[in-house]
Amino acid sequence: MGRKKAAAVRTGKSSLAPELRRKIRDARYSVGDDRFIVTFDSGKEYSFPRSSLEVDDGSELVNIQVDRKRFFFRVTHVSGNRYEIPWDRVLQEAEPAYPYFRGRRGRTKPTRAVGATIRKLRQAEGITQEKLGRAVGMMRNNISRIEGAKHRPTLETMERIAKALDVSVADLIVPR
């Protein structure tokens, strides 16, 4: 996607019967605002920050596609990372009155906060990215990508980073 452009997939309208109002009519991404914008068949539009999705690795988006049945939309990154966002997750992120998924927010830090925590702990120990990379078995530029929230590391990588920094994985990912 180019700068200041939004990707969108539009599908045909359907009946607005109550059980169908939760179908997704349109999903797009606003690059400048770094937000997903989702329109339901009811006409209601919701917006939420990309950073609120723990599965997002921060790399450039190459495709956003509404599923054929329109109960979710699929996001594809240039890195190959893919995930689906169902209608109820949209409401969880964007509708304060939505009653489901309460309490699940905040179980883990967003990618940028995980990276910032790793950077802070590494710097407090006086360790360079190069040295941490060697201890973890990674190249320095990959440590930089993690710290800069360009990539969300796997659990295995988080375990190796935590061990190298002499902290628990929870210290890296759980909000305090």
What are 107-150's pLDDT values in tens digits?
A: 567 778 888 999 999 999 999 999 999 999 989 998 998 998 88
153: domain CATH number? Answer: 1.10.260.40
**Residues 81 and 10 grouped into a single domain:** yes
Give a yes or no: residue 30 inside a domain: yes
- In order of 95, 145, 150, 173, the CA distances from 132 in angstroms are 40, 13, 17, 18
State how many domains the chain has. Answer: 2
Q: Which of the two residues, 124 and 2, has the higher pLDDT score?
A: 124
pLDDT of residue 37: 96
Q: Which domain holds residue 47?
A: 6-94
**Residues 74 and 29 grouped into a single domain:** yes
Residue 1 has pLDDT above 80, yes or no: no
Give a yes or no: residue 127 inside a domain: yes
pLDDT of residue 10: 38
**pLDDT (tens digit per residue) in 35-90:** 999 999 888 999 999 988 878 888 999 999 999 988 899 999 998 888 888 888 88
Residue 98 has pLDDT above 70, yes or no: yes
pTM (2 d.p.): 0.49
Query: Which of these three, 51, 67, 94, is where a domain ends?
Result: 94
- 21 pLDDT tier (thresholds 50, 70, 90): low
**Residues 122 and 62 grouped into a single domain:** no
Give a yes or no: residue 99 inside a domain: no
**Residues 20 and 60 grouped into a single domain:** yes
**Residues 81 and 18 grouped into a single domain:** yes
Distance (Å, whole) CA 35 – CA 22: 20
**Residues 34 and 80 grouped into a single domain:** yes
Q: Summarize the confidence of residues 17-40 as an average pLDDT.
A: 82
**Residues 69 and 147 grouped into a single domain:** no
Give a yes or no: residue 106 inside a domain: no
**Residues 120 and 78 grouped into a single domain:** no
pLDDT of residue 76: 94
- 100 pLDDT tier (thresholds 50, 70, 90): low
- In order of 2, 74, 112, 142, 147, the CA distances from 121 in angstroms are 35, 35, 14, 17, 11
**Residues 122 and 155 grouped into a single domain:** yes
83: domain CATH number? Answer: 3.30.2020
